[in-house]
Amino acid sequence: MTEQQLREEMVQIGASLFSRGYATGSAGNLSLLLPDGNLLATPTGACLGELQAQRLSVVTLQGEWISGDKPSKEVTFHRAVYLHNPACKAIVHLHSHYLTALSCLQGLDPHNWALLQS
C-alpha cells in the first residue's frame, strides 16, 4: 500500500473504533510502520472518530517528528514496541469506556475471566 492509502485506512479504522464505542474523546492512539521505516501515528489530542489523513503525524523510530500535526506523547510507547519487536507493524491502543469502568471495580480478580464473559 502507498503512504496515502495507509493514511486513509488509518482514518477509516479510527472512525470504526470510535463509532463502536471503543474510544471516546481523544482517548486512544493508532500507529503503523510506513514502507520507508517511519512511523505514522495519530496526533496529540485527536479524536479517533475525526481523524484527517493529511494531519496524521510522521515520526522516525528515533523519535524525530517529520511532518503532520504534533504526535501524541504515546508515540514514545509505540516506538519502544516497534523497536523491541520488529515483527510488529501496527498498534491499536484504546481506552474503551466499558473496560475502563470494569477496571474500577473493587475486588476484581484479573485471573477470573468468567466475569468478563457474562
Q: Is 74 a catalytic residue?
A: yes
b/e sequence 13-38, b meaning 16+ C-beta within 10 Å:
bbeebbeeebbbebbbbbbbbbeeeb
> Of residues 3, 8, 9, 74, which has the active-site annotation?
74
Instruction: Give the catalytic positions in this structure.
Output: 74
